[in-house]
Structure formats: C-alpha cells, structure tokens
C-alpha cells in the first residue's frame, strides 16, 4: 500500500468538479460540488447521531438504502437543516442533478453544509448545474475543485489517495473532507466523501466503514459540538477489476488498511484545521482496561477546553490532562497514570503514578511549541489502546464563531 | 424570607477572615481563609465526582463523616492535587488550624484551589495562621476577606445572605463561593461555603444539600471541565434557637427555600463571572418529557462552545441551540421545539415546531447585547422543567487559560 497523489478522482472511473453557483456571496468561493462514477457503485454511509438531522441526510439515507449510488451532489453555505421544506428541497436537488447526469434521483446522494435554519433557494443550484456537469473531469485538479466546494470555515483543502492490491489487482481509494467547526462526531462525522475502484459488496463496504469510523472520525473533535449534517459517504465502483470482496479475508484486510490510511489522514487534517486552530493534538491512551476506556479517556482529553487552551499557550499544564482523565467516565486507576508530551522537538515526561515529577519547563515549552503535539497517556491497567485527534482552542475560534453568520 | 446584607458571617456565631500568607506571589492577593463557628455544627458536604480528587477533599470527607465540624480552612494558589504527599499535607493543614483555634483536627474541613500537581509547602500557612486567627471577626468585612482568599481567576467576590423563619425563630443562612474556570460540576462543585444558625440535624442537612445541588451547582457550567477540587460545605450551628429540624415539614421547606436562594444566587454569580465571560446565560427548558430530559437539554445548551461564542457575538444563531438540543442525549421530539431569546431589552421568538421563523435581526441583536441572556426552550412534550447557568466563550477565556501557570 502506498500514498499517491490525488483525491476522489484517483480511483478509475470517478469524475468530479466544483463551481461557484451563488449560494455563497463571495464569487471566489466554490459552493457546489459533484462527484460521479461512470458506473453504478456499492455505497455505504454513516450519519450524525444528532436527533436534529439535516434534510439532505434523510434523503441520502433513503437513496442509499439499496446499497447502491452513483453520484454525490453537495453545497456549502446553507445546511438545509431545520427548514420546514428541507426534505422536499433536498429531493429536488437530487432530481436536478439526476436530470443533468442522465441518472435516477435514487442514485444520487445529497449533502449540505453551512448555516442551520436558513431556507435553501435552489435557483443558483439549478443555474449552476449545467456548467458543473459540463466541467466534470477525472483529474486531481477537478477533484480539488470538488474539495473546495464543500469548505466552509476550513482554511485548507483536505484530500488524499492511496493505492493498494486486492485479488491481485491494483486498486485505488481517495477521499476529500470538510471539517473545521461543529466537529464532534458521534458514530458519523463532518462531510467526507471517499471513492474507490475496488470491487466491494454493499454489505462489506458498510461493515468496513462502520468499523473504521469508530476509531477515526468518532475520535476527532474540534469543539465538542456534534453537527446536524455530519456524513461520510463511501462509493466503490469496482473498475479496478478485482474479484468483488464479499467476505472477510486478506482482500478485505487490505481494503480496511487502505481505508484507514485515508480516514486517519483526513481526521488529522480536520483536527489540524479546526476553527482557529494553530496546533493539531493527538492523544494516545495505552494500557487501558479496555479499548472503550482508552477511547473515552482520549476523547475527553482532546475535548477539554482547558487542555486545548493550555496547548495553545504551549503550557505543560498536565494537571488538566489528568483532570480530564479523571472525569472522563472511564474506569481508570488514577494512581497508576503516566503522562508525557511529545512532538518532533522531543519528549517530556511530566507525571508518574498519578503524581507530578520534576521536569524542565524550558524543554516542555520547546516540545509544546510545535504544530503537532502528542499527548501520551499510559494507564498501566490493561491492554486497551486508542487515539483521538483534536486541536487547540484559540482567540480565532472565538472570533470565527462569535460572528459566523455575518 | 428576605435577602440581607452579608455572607458566611451573617448567621449568629460565625467568624471569618482571609489573609495573604505567601502561597501566591502577589502580596495584594489574599490566599488563606478561615471560617469558624463558636460552637460545634451539623455539617454536610458534596464533592467532585472526578476520579482524580484533590487531597483536601479526602481529608474533609473523613473529618465530616460523623456529620459534625466547626471550621473550614482554605487556601488558593495551589490545589494540593496529584501530589504524592497530598493527604499528609492536607491533614497537617487541619492540625495547624486546630492548634491555633483550640479545636480537634477532626472538626476542621480543608479545601484548596489553584494549580494541580504542584507541591504545597505549608511554611506560609504555618506563618500566616496566627495572624489569620487573631483577625477573625463576625462582620461582613471579614466574611469578605474570607471570600477574597478563595478567589483564583474570579474577578468578583461571591457572597449572599438570607433571613428566614423556622420554628418561630429568625434564622440566617449565608454563603461565599469561588468559581471561574474548570467549572462543570458533577454532583458537586467549585468551592462553596455556606453557614447557617438554623438548627438542622446532620441527616437533614445532607438531604437538603444533596437535593439542592442537583438543580443548582450541577446545572452550572463555565467550560465543561469537572474540577478535581469541587466542594460545597454547609455548616449549621443552631444558634438561632429554633427546634432542631430532624424531618421533613414546614421548617425543612423554609430551610430548603432559603438554601436554594443562596445557591441559585451563587450559581448565577459563578456563571456570570466565568473565566473571560462578558455575559451570563440562563437556559430554561420547559415541558420536557421528564425533569431529567429538561436538565440534559439545558446543560447541553449552556455547555456548547458554538452557542457560547454566538452569545459572545450577540448573534441569534439559534440553529446552534437546536443542534445542542438534538445531540444532548435527551428524549426530544425535535419537530415540536420552540425557541426564544429574552433579556431585559425584550424577547424574540426564533424557532417554532423545530423550524426557523422570520425575526428582526435588529431586535435580536438588541436582546442579545445585554449582560444577562435567557435562552428559552419549550419542548411541548411533557411537564419537565429545568434551568442551567453558563456564560459566553470569549477571547479572554483563551487568554486566561492559554497561560494560567505563569
């Protein structure tokens, strides 16, 4: 398996594009994206667990119920959530795309991201679609146009592609994502679109995705708010020519590994590009009683506002990490906890057996001044292990969210 | 029942004081406080649910196990938590105070607040105690010295006193608190000390306190972080001369009402003086399926970083309130939700039946520019009701916590 250049257009038979159609005011901002496979795909998706669900999710859920889909249409700027006519509008958006693509509306997934509670006027979508479809192409540039079209307060485009082998055939898998704010998924996440030319049955695709998100997107948090529109869609068109993966085995394992490479990369990008973030935090908990305990602790730590602000200030205030460990709800023996901070500048041990140990504040400052910080927690109480990704809490987070709508 | 001037010194027979002993660097900052009753008291306390517990809490828990106490000693600056010798140091602190007061160490409650994981050197405590004890007095000013001695990043002193009648006798109850950061109690909270001259048995005192905190301190959140040192101590010395309250009845109800007036006031003060806060948020959820559902929703809303930043920006971004309602975990029918914002500038309805309704952004801005904002959520789904208190999330929260230790 190796990382290759590209994104959702890296796998065979996927074309993409993104344009500015007018949902957002700024003309330089793409706001409508399309990803299309040349042939029908196995499809799987996971959605937000928020009781308030974006209307597009309800429509995608329905369209994907048969395990099949062929295209995804997404807009940014307005979430189409908490609107009385939301589902109707999302269905219409699928119809408009289907008309232009010569597909059935039931084979189109729909997603929206942006402000909640504002009506989505489809006029710009209707007017923008012909150009969007005419410009579809199978190259990295057009995949990037699609990645740009789903960005909101993101500052960086998020894309990745991987090549791997299944059934003796070279397969590719690629993804794009938007993250930034309202990122604290629960069994699903932000907007993520992943394509592969590997042949995988709908059942195994669903199994792969569900199992993966538990350890990836569900372990990523920017601000503790679980969005109404979180959504990961995975399309597999089988054009790599491998024998369809229909059960567990070496091919499924290869596929899972490739998928995990894609998702971990996107999680790290989403965390590092959290609203206002200056640093990416990766918390790894090892030797917990169970994997679930490890996950609970790791997520509590990267979610703590006090840990996040300390990291912003490059302050080795490890007591806040231990505090979050203690209130996480996990089964932890606090007298055994060992803590370290690590970055490419080095590693510094700060706590052993649940109590502080002397350390050089100077070295700690150096370690914590890097862009990517690892928080390492050894619970010495079992074999459970988990990693969570987050970011620091900064002035800019407050600025971005204090006046988001204007 | 009426609110009167004063604090923990308002009830008969309580003296207090606060001095600078040298735990904190700034000489203008009091860092050691004492509250003493002239006679033994019924005592009750609730503590943080964090598995990581400050050593002083463990000592207080032990000293108060018999339902009796007579004094409280507290320091700010260092939390005495996650230190290998923590319990020993906290016991020693009780002993030092007992020696000076001529009491038994077992009748002394101990509390500490400040940085976690730094050793607490008792030299300044030992040197400061004689002056602290010599200066004890039963007046509002000395109660305020005590209130100042427990402040950390608090910007305002928190005190209140109430007068009520029980068994035909006039009784008084008064309290002081420190709040500010790491405020997200779970069955217990920050540092709060409440005194009363009402005669109440230890059992009924415990019952009153436990029942009250569920609806007051446990519904207050500044930053979602449950501290290691949260602690509410309630001392009742019986000097009002009423017949001791030993069971439920009109006297117990009067006492509960007076206690609730004290605790709600302190919660509002703690929320409004949250680290960096410019606004106090009060979220009231009505007509929930159960009171528990109402509490869950109210707490999720005032805890949401996105709601908090929107309130900072006076932005009526109600979708974030609905979003938090949806992910709270409460049993909610999102299609019935009604939302309004209210302040002394007026009220503005923003959502009905789970969907947005047109409203004047101008009026909304006016309503949300006040210092105290009410977020009103009607779930139209039962009779459960709850209120939670919080604050906005501001640049200053980040500033304060990005570099707390230096």
CATH number, domain containing residue B375: 3.10.20.340
Question: Exposed/middle/buried for B363, CB within 10 Å: 0-12, 13-18, 19+?
Answer: middle
Segment 338-367 of chain B within 8 Å of chain A by CB: 351, 353-356
Q: How far is A362 from chain B (nearest CA, A)?
A: 13
Question: Does the structure show a pLDDT above 90 at B212?
Answer: no
Best of A358, A398, A405 to mutate (most B CBs within 10 Å, chain B): A398
Whether the per-residue pLDDT at B184 is higher than 60: the answer is: no
- DSSP single-letter state for residue A200: B
pLDDT at res. A403: 66
Does B80 or B73 have the greater pLDDT score?
Answer: B73
Of A350 and A82, which is predicted with more confidence?
Answer: A350
Look up tokens 């939302």; give the residue.
Answer: B339
Asked if B201 is an interface residue toward chain A (Cβ–Cβ < 8 A), one would say no
Does A329 lie at the interface with B, CB-CB under 8 angstroms? Answer: no
Q: How confident is the model at residue B225 (pLDDT cuts 50, 70, 90)?
A: low
The answer to whether residues B209 and B224 touch, using CB atoms and an 8 Å cutoff, is: no
Please report residues of A whose CB lies closer than 8 A to that of B119. Answer: 356
- CA–CA separation, A298 and B162 (whole Å): 44
Q: Return the pLDDT at B227.
A: 65
- Say if residue A182's pLDDT is above 60: no
Helix spans in A102-249 (H): 123-134, 140-149, 202-215
Pairwise CA distance, residues B291 & B284, whole Å: 11
Q: Which of A225, A315, A359, A369 to mutate to test the interface with B (most CBs of B within 10 A)?
A: A225
Asked if residue B190 has pLDDT above 80, the reply is: no
Q: Does A242 share its domain with A305?
A: no
* Active centre residues of B (catalytic): 189
Nearest to A186 among B312, B327, B354 (CB): B327
| Chain A residues whose beta carbon lies within 8 Å of the beta carbon of residue B353 | 84
Same domain, B31 and B121: yes
What is the reported pLDDT for B186?
A: 43
pLDDT for the residue numbered B188? 33
ipTM value, please give it. 0.74
C-beta atoms of A84 and B355 within 8 A: yes
The answer for residues whose C-beta is within 8 angstroms of residue A42's C-beta and 6 or more apart is A67, A68, A199, A200, A201, A202, A205, A235, A236, A237, A238
User: Residue B72's pLDDT is what?
Assistant: 96
B305 touches A: beta carbon within 8 Å:
yes
Angle between helices A250-272 and A202-215 (to 10 degrees): 40
Residue A268 shares a structural domain with residue A317: no
pLDDT at B189: 39
Tell me the nearest-neighbour CA distance from A320 into chain B, angstroms.
Answer: 7
Domain count for chain B: 2
Q: Please report where in the chains the tokens 């791997």 appear, as a residue.
A: A164
- For B108-143, how does the pLDDT look when each residue is reduced to its tens digit (9 = 90+)? 999 998 888 888 999 999 999 999 999 999 999 999
Task: For residues B11-30, give the mean pLDDT.
Answer: 94
Q: Domain residues for B156?
A: 2-272
Q: Which residues of B touch A119 (CB under 8 A)?
A: 356
pLDDT score recorded for residue A288: 97
Check whether residue A88 and residue A190 sit in a common domain: yes
Which is higher by pLDDT, B396 or B298? B298
Residue A28: CA count within 13 A, CB half-sphere: 0
Instruction: Say yes or no: B38 and B163 in one domain.
Output: yes
From the list A82, A323, A356, the residue facing B319 with the nearest CB is A82
- Final residue of a domain: which of A231, A249, A272? A272
Say whether pLDDT at A362 is over 60: yes
What is the arithmetic mean of pLDDT over A17-41?
A: 95
pLDDT of residue B365: 95
| pLDDT tens string A196-227 | 999 999 999 999 998 888 888 877 777 666 66
**A246 and A360 in a common domain:** no
Q: Any chain B CB within 8 A of the CB of A116?
A: yes
A131 and A244, same structural domain?
Answer: yes
Greatest C-alpha distance within chain B: 68
User: Is the same domain home to B196 and B76?
Assistant: yes
Return the pLDDT at A232: 84
Reported as a pLDDT band with limits 50, 70 and 90, residue B216 is confident
Among A27-36, A50-59, A363-372, name the one with the lowest average pLDDT: A50-59
Q: Is A47 on the interface with B (CB under 8 A)?
A: no
Mean residue pLDDT across chain A:
90
Q: In angstroms, rounded to a whole number, what is the distance separating the alpha carbons of residues A123 and A130?
A: 13
Q: Which of A235, A250, A272 marks a domain boundary?
A: A272
**Are residues A327 and B402, on separate chains, in Cβ contact within 8 Å?**
no
Q: What is the reported pLDDT for A272? A: 86
Residue from the list A117, A225, A322 with its beta carbon closest to the beta carbon of B351: A117
Whether the CB of B231 is below 8 Å from some CB of chain A: the reply is: no
**Is A60 an annotated catalytic residue?**
no
**pLDDT beyond 80 at B206:** yes
Give how far B366 is from chain A: nearest CA, Å.
Answer: 15
Mark B250-280 as b/e (b = at least 16 C-beta within 10 Å): ebbebbbebbbbbbbbbbbbbbbbbbbbbbb
The answer on pLDDT for B183 being more than 80 is no
Q: How confident is residue B171, by pLDDT bands cut at 50, 70 and 90? A: very high
Mark yes or no for CB contact B401/A50 under 8 Å: no
Minimal C-alpha gap between B339 and chain A (Å) = 12
Which tokens hold the place of A145?
């146009």
Q: Is the pLDDT of residue A188 over 50?
A: no
Query: Which of the residues A55, A114, A117 would you substitute to probe the B interface, choosing the one with the greatest number of B C-beta atoms within 10 Å?
Result: A117
Pair (A184, A221) in one structural domain: yes
All residues of chain B having their beta carbon less than 8 Å from the beta carbon of residue A320 are: 116, 182, 225
Contacts B117 to A, Cβ<8 Å: 318-319, 322, 350-351, 355-356
In angstroms, the Cα distances linking B31 to B34, B60, B79, B101, B311 are 10, 19, 12, 19, 33
pLDDT attached to residue A54: 86
CB contact under 8 A, B401 and A306: yes
Contact A225 B306 (CB under 8 A): yes
Closest CA in chain A for residue B52: A326
Interchain contact, B82 vs A315, CB within 8 Å: no
Q: Above 90 in pLDDT, residue A185?
A: no
Please report the pLDDT score of residue A82 as a whole number.
Answer: 81
> A243-247, A392-396, B66-70: which has the minimum mean pLDDT?
A392-396
Q: Tell me whether B369 touches chain A (CB under 8 Å).
A: no
Query: Which pLDDT band, with edges at 50, 70 and 90, does A184 fall under?
Result: low
The pLDDT of residue A166 is above 80: yes
Q: Quick one: pLDDT at residue B73?
A: 97
Q: Which of A213, A246, A272 is the last residue of a domain?
A: A272
The mean pLDDT value for B154-162 works out to: 88
Q: Are A264 and A285 contained in the same domain?
A: no
User: Distance, in angstroms, between B358 CA and closest chain A CA?
Assistant: 10
| φ, ψ at B388 (rounded to 5°) | -130, 150
**CA distance, residue B227 to nearest chain A CA (Å):** 7
Banded model confidence at residue B330, pLDDT cuts 50, 70, 90: very high
Comparison of pLDDT for B400 and B222, the residue scoring more: B400
**Which residues of chain B make contact with A406, given a CB cutoff of 8 A?**
315
How far is Cα B403 from Cα A52, in angstroms, rounded to an integer? 37
- For residues A9 and A169, the answer to whether their CB atoms sit within 8 Å is no
Contacts of A318 in chain B (CB under 8 A): 117
* Separation of alpha carbons B302 and B308, rounded Å: 7
Per-residue pLDDT at A404 exceeds 70:
no
The DSSP bridge pattern shows strands B384-391 and A355-356 to be: unpaired
Domain identity same for B213 and B304 = no
Same domain (yes/no): A165, A296? no
% of chain B with per-residue pLDDT over 70: 95
Position B274 scores a pLDDT of 82
pLDDT at B107 over 70: yes
Whether residue B31 is predicted with pLDDT greater than 90 in this model: the reply is: yes
Distance CA B203, CA B205 (A): 5
Q: Cα(B335)–Cα(A7) distance, rounded to whole angstroms?
A: 38
Looking at every residue in chain B, the average pLDDT score rounds to 90
Percent of chain A with pLDDT over 70: 95
**pLDDT of amino acid B106:** 97
Establish if A193 touches chain B: CB-CB under 8 angstroms.
no
Measure A405 CA to nearest chain B CA, in Å.
7
Looking at CA atoms only, how far is residue B328 from chain A in angstroms?
8
Question: B83–A356: do the CB atoms touch at under 8 Å?
Answer: yes
**B225 in contact with A, Cβ within 8 Å:** yes
Q: With an 8 Å Cβ cutoff, is A81 touching chain B?
A: yes
The SS3 assignment for A309 reads helix
* A189 has pLDDT over 50: no
**Residue of A113, A189, A261, A394 marked catalytic:** A189
pLDDT tens digits, one per residue of B227-246? 666 788 899 999 999 999 99
pLDDT for the residue numbered B116: 80
The residues, any chain, with a CB within 8 Å of residue B125's CB and separated by 6 or more, are B21, B23, B32, B75, B93, B96
Place B178 in a pLDDT band, splitting at 50, 70 and 90. Answer: confident
């Amino acid at each position: 398996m190796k990382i290759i250049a590209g994104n959702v257009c890296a796998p065979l038979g996927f074309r993409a594009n993104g344009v500015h159609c007018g949902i957002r005011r700024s003309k330089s901002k793409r706001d409508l994206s399309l990803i299309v496979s040349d042939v029908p795909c196995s499809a799987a998706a996971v959605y937000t667990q928020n009781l308030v669900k974006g209307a597009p999710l309800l429509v995608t859920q329905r369209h994907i119920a048969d395990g099949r889909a062929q295209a995804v249409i997404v807009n940014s700027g307005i979430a189409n959530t908490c609107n009385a006519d939301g589902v109707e509008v999302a269905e219409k958006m699928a119809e408009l795309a289907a008309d232009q693509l010569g597909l059935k509306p039931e084979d189109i997934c729909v997603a929206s991201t942006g402000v909640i509670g504002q009506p989505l006027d489809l006029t710009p979508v209707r007017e923008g679609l012909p150009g969007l479809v005419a410009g579809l192409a199978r190259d990295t540039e057009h995949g990037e146009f699609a990645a740009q079209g789903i960005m909101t307060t993101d500052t960086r485009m998020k894309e990745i592609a991987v090549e791997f082998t299944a059934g003796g055939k070279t397969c590719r898998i690629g993804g794009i994502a938007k993250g930034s704010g309202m990122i604290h998924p629960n069994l699903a996440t932000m907007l993520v679109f992943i394509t592969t030319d590997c042949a995988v049955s709908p059942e195994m695709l669903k199994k792969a995705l569900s199992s993966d998100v538990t350890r990836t997107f569900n372990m990523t948090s920017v601000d503790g708010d679980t969005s109404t529109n979180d959504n990961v869609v995975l399309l597999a068109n089988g054009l790599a020519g491998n024998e369809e993966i229909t059960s567990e085995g070496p091919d499924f394992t290869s596929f899972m590994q490739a998928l995990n490479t894609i998702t971990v990369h996107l999680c790290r990008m989403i965390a590092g590009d959290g609203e206002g973030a200056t640093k990416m935090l990766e918390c790894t908990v090892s030797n917990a009683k169970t994997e679930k305990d490890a996950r609970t602790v790791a997520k509590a730590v990267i979610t703590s506002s006090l840990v996040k602000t300390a990291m912003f200030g490059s302050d080795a205030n490890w007591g806040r990490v231990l505090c979050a460990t203690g209130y996480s709800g996990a089964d932890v023996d606090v007298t055994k906890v060992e803590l370290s901070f690590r970055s490419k500048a080095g590693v510094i041990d700060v706590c052993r057996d649940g109590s502080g140990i002397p350390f050089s504040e100077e070295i700690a400052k150096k370690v914590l001044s890097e862009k990517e910080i690892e928080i390492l927690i050894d619970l010495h109480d079992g074999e459970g292990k988990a990693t969570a990704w987050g970011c620091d809490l900064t002035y800019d987070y407050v600025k971005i969210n204090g006046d988001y709508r204007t």
